[in-house]
Structure 1
């Protein structure tokens, strides 16, 4: 989800590999290493010239102090290594670095049943839920992926987990009220968005063998359940909430509406509807979440940090030319210092 800046040319590198995890942006610059054998030959030639000169002086009866032992080659060897490393830096090496970062998944499960058209929360429960969802999306860090589930009598994933905020907001804007309410299907739809496949309720007799595979553990995920809590099914959300809890998914229920309620018209019939907080509180307690009542979008300010982000690592390419050049400079300084201390000159 993150883009490494300051790497112009890296995306277009030729892909010639060096050692494991390292590639070269300009591999043709390796031709500069042909200079190294020439430097080695020049150094050996200089040693032979010094030897001849020392013999000539000795033949004339002059005594000259001569550095002996392999230690006299340490300084020049470091200088030669520094030049080699500096030439390697011209290839603009790129190393794959594992960077820790925090990520998570939030599912916005929005109740789109008929009762969400009630206006005891202005302009309506559903419009308040959509405003709250937009505010929630805006406050999530970039490392959090967001999915959208619309649920009434069934749960439908309208947007799979993504870091594309525009796609999430578009999915929220398309929500319209219709049908009954099943909190269990809202939770199961959220779990399906997280695991990437439909999730059946525990004990469903219609499950096939493929559905009996455990959905696994999904720490760092949460379902924000935006609903008025009125469940029109017989089973209730308890079993679905327990399944979410076993999978490490926290559910953060948000109640939209008022206990006094309102009256809505459905197919010519007037139906009374009110906020039912009991089931929502039980869902929160089962999964370790927190129930909140939303009288307006501003009251959801604390929901955005409900997800416990988990630490993961991501391999990111970084150009390390400056690091290689700095290492070459240290070798150059060390070699020059040793040479001056032993011989009174750099070379």
Structure 2
């Protein structure tokens, strides 16, 4: 439903001419009636116009003038428009294992390439944040509509360190909430009760990782926290179950995709786990992410529409007047 406001309301003063024109029209009718009586007294009988429709033409002309005056006020209609809205956190695993090349050119670079494609496709109403997590989670870009800032944050990511899936999810929640979110039941960091995070429907954490968790605590507890906050976790598994080897500080290390914790986190929050073997399939995963549709009120100036209505009334009134009496006025 729309609301109407006027940019120049003082122009409504011009509407005072409408009753003056109506009064003038009635005076013309009285003069014509008096003239008919005079002619009838001289034996010249002129039939008086009959029917209520004889006033329609002049009425349309007067109405057209009134609408023209209304258009001078530059009316603005506030219209509710649907738009896709929400927040997406791109949470990148930047541990050493993400340098593995079983996804070309590497797990991390493939994730970054697909993230750039995802950012380019999003409407301006979708805010995007970037989180980098290894042994800890770090918000490198808060939720923003500035696409250049998001792309710059993605470009800076480099692999190093261990992996904590729980801290990756906590980093995503921190980006959404706008303040650090504690792990539930963690005596050192605080508890979930000490850090209420509220409900954040229409948000999602895209967890880009190979699933290899080097900590003792898995992501189950923080996934429950995300679920209670209405945040979906959409894990994307990078790598292959067969795995490969990487060299870290001169040592060879085996690394392989671990899907079990990612599937569990997705199931807990109502998200979907997907495996991505290359950048193209990663892009398809991003396309499947759905955000909520909301409405916002957008002002639109409707002067042209009001002027068009005035022109139609003017044309209709002039046409009727010409057809009935051979002239416009």
**1:98 corresponds to:** 80
Coordinate RMSD, CA, aligned: 3.1
Q: Please say if 1:23 is aligned against 2:21.
A: no
Once the two structures are superposed, what CA deviation does each residue of 1:285-321 show, in whole Å capped at 9, x if it has no partner?
A: 2233332333321221321223223221122222212
**1:159 corresponds to:** 141
What is the DSSP-based 3-state SS (H/G/I as helix, E as strand, rest coil) of the residue aligned with 2:215? coil
TM-score of the two chains, using structure 1 as the length reference: 0.80
Q: Please say if 1:313 is aligned against 2:281.
A: no
**1:47 corresponds to:** 29
**1:136 corresponds to:** 118
What is the DSSP-based 3-state SS (H/G/I as helix, E as strand, rest coil) of the residue aligned with 2:217? coil
Change (3 A) 1:263 1:311: closer
**1:77 corresponds to:** 59
TM-score of the two chains, using structure 2 as the length reference: 0.84
Q: Please say if 1:223 is aligned against 2:198.
A: no
What is the DSSP-based 3-state SS (H/G/I as helix, E as strand, rest coil) of the residue aligned with 1:250? strand
Q: Please say if 1:260 is aligned against 2:243.
A: yes
**1:302 corresponds to:** 284
Structure 2: 5+ residue stretches without partners: none
User: For 1:81 and 1:207, how far apart are their aligned partners in 2?
Assistant: 70
Contact 2:6 2:73 in 1 (8 A): no
Contact 2:243 2:254 in 1 (8 A): no
User: For 1:112 and 1:90, how far apart are their aligned partners in 2?
Assistant: 60
Change (3 A) 1:155 1:314: same
**2:254 corresponds to:** 272
**1:6 corresponds to:** none
Once the two structures are superposed, what CA deviation does each residue of 1:132-161 show, in whole Å capped at 9, x if it has no partner?
A: 322322333444322111111222221122
What is the DSSP-based 3-state SS (H/G/I as helix, E as strand, rest coil) of the residue aligned with 2:275? strand
Contact 1:199 1:211 in 2 (8 A): no
Please give the residue correspondences for 1:280-295 in structure 2 after superposition, counting only pairs within 5 Å.
Answer: 280-295=262-277
How many residues were matched structurally? 326
**2:46 corresponds to:** 64
Q: Please say if 1:199 is aligned against 2:181.
A: yes
Shift of 1:76: 2.3
Contact 1:154 1:185 in 2 (8 A): yes
Q: Please say if 1:187 is aligned against 2:169.
A: yes
Structure 1: 5+ residue stretches without partners: 1-18
Change (3 A) 1:226 1:88: same
Q: 2:305 aligns with which of 287, 304, 323?
A: 323
